[in-house]
Structure 1
Amino acid sequence: MGITDFLFHLDDSLREAALLYPVATYGLLFTVIYTETAFFPLAPFFPGDGLLFAVGVLAAGGLLHPVLISLLLAVGAALGAWTGYRLGRSFGPAMFKRFAWLDRRAYVRSHAFYRKFGATALITSRFLPIVKALVPFVAGVAEMERGRFARYNVLSACIWVFSLVALGYFLGNVPFIRDHTTLLVLGLAAIFITGLGVTLVTKLVKRQRQSA
């Protein structure tokens, strides 16, 4: 089965995997969530938000243990973001020193931003595709304090995973939702992506007006 078939038949694919390979399914879901949050260049290819909703629907049907899978995926999300943070902290500052053409002012501004708004950025970015993986990396580049990042990283991972899995779990027994999980997952992804696009366009327009 190709990636396109998997995404457009997400509920059927996960249901079949949970029935045939129950233990491996837990490992697969952990790997997907970890990878999406750890490596932002790969994030567009992983349906994190919709996947969590689908996991909740499957848990409502008894195919996955709701508490166990939620805890496992929260750990995966936290470890993934920590990996991104460590990559940013290890390679980010060196990049600005090595390549003179990089905007040093952006580096300085990122330090100031994460000192003031780092916790808020970590929590809100969890619900934005791609951004959820980019923010930890930038937090590492900005050398956000490790203890502060660790606290809000765990908190944001728990909020993200438990809220979306719970949403799928409590709505999973509704016949329409159970029978149209894939469409709802794609719709959820479209909403998040649209929101991100609107935010970026708004900021771009505002910046152009300020420059003018």
Structure 2
Amino acid sequence: MGELADFFFHIDDSLRQATLLYPVATYGLLFAVIYTETAFFPLAPFFPGDGLLFAVGVLCAGALLNPFVICLLLSIAAALGAWTGYRLGHTIGPRLFERFTWIDRKHYFRAHAFYRKFGATALFTSRFLPIVKALVPFIAGVAHMEPARFVRYNILSALLWVISLVTLGYFLGNIPFIRDHTSWLVIGLAAIFVTGLLITTVVKLVRGAGVKG
């Protein structure tokens, strides 16, 4: 756990060293991290995907990584990860209701109706929210969102997520302050996304309590 924390707080130095020592393997490592974070939501809290993409963009600005290869490779990783989560939800979902009879089936029908109407929006917005980005595809699978529709928006949202954050890191990476304080900026970026998620959750809980009251 300590090594993971050290990597997170020094993500720029860790990636820079890995790129210099093992340039080809670094591409594979980044692919594995993005895939795992988006495929398995219980593991998502341990992977700083958004901050990682920003840091990768900074390295691309320093010519340590190829930005075009990175954007293509990590977009594929993000799309495949979400597809894995979707298939897991599609396969495991029905079994959950059979095994755990206390789960209200109304939640299933509500989820099905929600993803039929707002599935595309959910996929796009969740990409920029830690943990949620891996949870939404799973729930979409549980709700049996149309596979063709999921694939279409999954690919588009993966491209948007990866390209936007890598590009942001690429252009800001030329600024000396940004380049020298990447780790703290990554932490700040993660904090902003988490704070946004918490605020959204609290607002929904308060509104829900108000409706019940």
**TM-score computed with the length of structure 2 as normaliser:** 0.99
Q: Secondary structure at the match of 1:206?
A: helix
Q: Secondary structure at the match of 1:62?
A: coil
Displacement of 1:11 after TM fit? Answer: 0.2
Displacement of 1:211 after TM fit? Answer: 0.6
Displacement of 1:93 after TM fit? Answer: 1.4
Distance in 1 of aligned mates of 2:82 and 2:54: 20
1:86 maps to: 87
2:184 maps to: 183
RMSD, aligned CA: 0.7
Distance in 1 of aligned mates of 2:85 and 2:145: 13
1:167 aligns with 2:130: no
1:208 maps to: 209
Distance in 2 of aligned mates of 1:77 and 1:103: 31
Displacement of 1:64 after TM fit? Answer: 0.1
Displacement of 1:103 after TM fit? Answer: 1.5
Displacement of 1:98 after TM fit? Answer: 2.5
Structure 1 unmatched ranges of 5 or more: none
Q: Give the counterpart letter for 2:95 in structure 1.
A: A
Distance in 1 of aligned mates of 2:18 and 2:135: 30
Moved more, 98-107 or 194-203: 98-107
Distance in 2 of aligned mates of 1:142 and 1:8: 37
Distance in 1 of aligned mates of 2:12 and 2:104: 44
1:131 maps to: 132
2:16 maps to: 15
Number of equivalent positions: 212
Displacement of 1:97 after TM fit? Answer: 2.2
2:56 maps to: 55
Distance in 2 of aligned mates of 1:184 and 1:84: 29
Distance in 2 of aligned mates of 1:164 and 1:151: 21
Distance in 1 of aligned mates of 2:24 and 2:116: 41
Task: Work out the percentage of aligned pairs sharing the same amino acid.
Answer: 73
Q: Give the counterpart letter for 1:211 in structure 2.
A: K
Superposed counterparts of 1:7-156, under 5 Å: 7-156=8-157
Displacement of 1:99 after TM fit? Answer: 1.7
Q: Give the counterpart letter for 1:16 in structure 2.
A: Q
Distance in 2 of aligned mates of 1:182 and 1:94: 42
Q: Secondary structure at the match of 1:2?
A: helix
Q: Secondary structure at the match of 2:169?
A: helix
**TM-score computed with the length of structure 1 as normaliser:** 0.99
Q: Secondary structure at the match of 1:124?
A: helix
Distance in 1 of aligned mates of 2:146 and 2:94: 14
Distance in 2 of aligned mates of 1:138 and 1:166: 29
Distance in 1 of aligned mates of 2:100 and 2:165: 41
Q: Secondary structure at the match of 2:20?
A: helix
Distance in 2 of aligned mates of 1:98 and 1:31: 32
Q: Give the counterpart letter for 2:101 in structure 1.
A: A
Moved more, 98-107 or 114-123: 98-107
Distance in 2 of aligned mates of 1:190 and 1:111: 31
Distance in 2 of aligned mates of 1:47 and 1:132: 12
